[in-house]
Amino acid sequence: MPATINVNGRITGEREAVVPVLDHGFLYGEGIYETMRTYNGRVFLYDRHVRRLRNSARLIALDLPFTEDDLAAQVRDTVAAAALGRAEAYIRVLVTRGVGDLTYDPRATPRPSVVIIVKPQVDPEPSAYERGVRVVIVDVVRNHPETVNPMIKSNNLLNSALAMQEAIRRGGFEGLMRNYRRELSECTTSNIFIVRGGVALTPPLSSGLLPGITREFLIEIGRDVGIDVREEVLRDEDLFAADEAFLTSTTREAVPIVAVDDRAIGSGRPGPVTRRLLEEYRRRAQAG
C-alpha cells in the first residue's frame, strides 16, 4: 500500500508529496526524525517520541515550528487520511532545516519543513521471533559522539546506511557497529542487549548510541518483572560468550539474535529472558 504524506500540513498520496530541492534536509541531511507505530490504532509511547524529537532538535539548534498539540493533530489527521483499516500504522515524522540559499548559515532557512509519512506497519516475519536472526559486526564504526552525535536521531544517515550495506552484503539481518573505542554501540536501526547469567545487559549511552525508546521501556519492564537489566560497556567477546542476545526497536519490538557472524549465541535458539521481556512488552503495547 502506498504511503500517505503530510508536507507542511498538506496531505497527499506519495507521488504528489514533494519538498523543494533547496531544502537543507535534501542538500545537507540537516534534519531530525522519529519513527513511531500504533497498536490498536493508538500511537505507542507518543510522549517519549516527542520528548526525544525535542532533544534532537535542541542538539542541532533547530526550533520546532509546532506545539505538541499541533503535532499530535497533524499525526492524527495523516493517520486518518491513510485509511489503513485494521492495519497498524508506521509513522515517520521528519523536521528539516527548511528551504534556503546554499549556505550552512541557519539564518538562510527561517522556516523548518515538517513531513509526516504514514504507511502500514510491516512486522518482521514470524520466523524472526520463533527462530531468531543472525547479525553481523560491521567494519563501519559508529559516528564519534563529537562528530554527528548518535544521540541525535538525525536524517543524516550515511553512517547507518553504509553499515547496513555491509550487513546486507554479508547476509546479516542487522549490522552491529562498534564505537571508536571498539566497544559495541548499536545496530543500524536498533539497540543491542545480551543476557549473561539471567541478567540483561545493554551498552550505556556513553558508548555512543541512540537512546532507544524500546530500550528504555524494556529496562523498565525488566525492573517490574524481576529481570535485572543493566547498562554495561560490552565488547565482541561479551557478545560471543552471551547466553542470549536480542535487538530492540519500535517497529521490531525485541528480536532474538541467535548467531553473530559465524558463531552461535548461547544455545543457538531464542532464550527465556528474551521471550519473557518480549511477551511483557507486547502485553503492555497492546494494552496501550
Ligand X SMILES: Cc1ncc(COP(=O)(O)O)c(C=O)c1O
Q: What minimum distance in Å lies between the beta carbon of 44 and ligand X? A: 10
Residues linked to residue 199 through DSSP beta bridges, in sequence order: 196
Q: Which is nearer to ligand X, 109 or 154 (CB)?
A: 154
Following DSSP, what letter does each residue of 12-57 receive, concatenated?
A: EETTT----TTBHHHHH--EEEEEEEEETTEETTHHHHHHHHHHHH
Q: What minimum distance in Å lies between the beta carbon of 226 and ligand X? A: 23
Among 210, 219, 245, 285, binds ligand X (CB under 6 A): 210
**Residue that the C-alpha cell 529472558 belongs to:** 273
Residues linked to residue 7 through DSSP beta bridges, in sequence order: 10, 115
Choose the binding region for ligand X from 71-79, 209-217, 221-229, 266-274 (rule: CB under 6 A): 209-217
Contact (Cβ atoms closer than 8 angstroms) between residue 116 and residue 92: yes
Q: Considering only CA atoms, which of 253, 236, 242, 237 is closest in space to residue 200?
A: 242
Q: Which of residues 256-275 bind ligand X (CB under 6 A)?
A: none
Q: Which is nearer to ligand X, 254 or 265 (CB)?
A: 254
Q: Which of residues 137-196 bind ligand X (CB under 6 A)?
A: 160, 186, 189-191
Biggest CA pair distance of the chain: 57
Q: Which is nearer to ligand X, 157 or 233 (CB)?
A: 157
Each residue 71-110 as x (binds ligand X by CB under 6 A) or -, in order, gives: ----------------------------------------
Q: What minimum distance in Å lies between the beta carbon of 249 and ligand X? A: 4
Each residue 35-64 as x (binds ligand X by CB under 6 A) or -, in order, gives: x-----------------------------
- Residue 214 sits in the site that holds ligand X (CB under 6 A): yes
CA distance readout (Å), 222 to 138, 195, 283: 29, 12, 14
Among 132, 208, 212, 271, binds ligand X (CB under 6 A): 212
CA–CA separation, 186 and 142 (whole Å)? 8
Q: What minimum distance in Å lies between the beta carbon of 114 and ligand X? A: 19
CA–CA separation, 266 and 224 (whole Å)? 25
Q: What minimum distance in Å lies between the beta carbon of 62 and ligand X? A: 18
CA–CA separation, 97 and 115 (whole Å)? 12
Measured CA angle at 35 (ends 138, 98), to 5 deg: 100
Q: Total binding residues for ligand X by CB under 6 A?
A: 14
Q: Which is nearer to ligand X, 267 or 286 (CB)?
A: 286
Q: What minimum distance in Å lies between the beta carbon of 3 and ligand X? A: 17
CA–CA separation, 168 and 146 (whole Å)? 28
Q: What does residue 23 show for φ and ψ, rounded to 5 degrees?
A: -70, 130
Choose the binding region for ligand X from 107-115, 210-218, 230-238, 259-267 (rule: CB under 6 A): 210-218
List contacts with ligand X (CB under 6 A).
Answer: 35, 160, 186, 189-191, 210, 212-215, 248-250
